[in-house]
Structure 1
Amino acid sequence: MEDVAPKVSYRTKLMGSQNSTDPFQALEDFEVQEGNVKTEVINGIPSIIFFERVHKFVEMKMAKTMVIKLLGRKITFNAILNIITILWKTKSYFQLMDLENDYCLVQFNDKEDFKNVLTKGP
């Protein structure tokens, strides 16, 4: 039986979970400090500016992430997860997050898996 990555919604990933056994919850703690964010209102429009430390953290987290678009007919989240797990044959877990409009976000645990899927995978 093949390992299947756990189903995690974008909201769950974004908000986190204190009692999850999800291996992807083992991310290092990152706390936005007071000097890392500037908020202001420009012409009645709220603006949030993140400084270098936050940008570097996001860049590091997104380095092994890709957005995929489903083409053709609509299929369920679990079907997508099963299909790409079989097709990609990754060495370690990856996380699939369902976005809207037939897009998904895939975050890989292993950089080699990411490179292989990006350059060789369907």
Structure 2
Amino acid sequence: MVVDFDQQPIMSFKDKLLGGGVAFSGENLEGSFEKNKSDFELMEIDVNMSMVNGIPAIAFSDRIKDILFKEMELTVILKLLGRNISYNFHDIDDYNKVLIQGPWIIFGQYLTVQPWTKSFNPAQPYPSVVMAWIRLSSLP
């Protein structure tokens, strides 16, 4: 009987669900999570809590905003049937394919896709100009 003592990478359901990488069998997943969590430290100056008209408000520092924006780098906003849907890609090739290829049609409705930006406004119509090729079958 041959026994392979090399640890093979195993993707656990938890890792896949949380968007993590490959874990090695026998590795303490909680320990690796704690190690990544310790890389980030939230300081008291990063959060400003206040009350605005009796409603609690939380303002974050520019450092925290930059961290959050970095996480949203590969996010696109989809508008389908009048509803906004956001999706965060993990692969730059998939992100570019969705933005560049198209137009996308789902259930006979055009799906508009736009990259997420800091100044994203869901009330703003996007895109403002669409180039379309229309074929009229009864014309020569």
Under a length normalisation based on structure 1, what TM-score does the superposition of the two structures give?
0.49
Greater Rg, structure 1 or structure 2? 2
Question: More helix per residue: 1 or 2?
Answer: 1
Task: Tell me the TM-score normalised to structure 2 length.
Answer: 0.43
Higher relative contact order (CA 8 A, sep 6+): 1
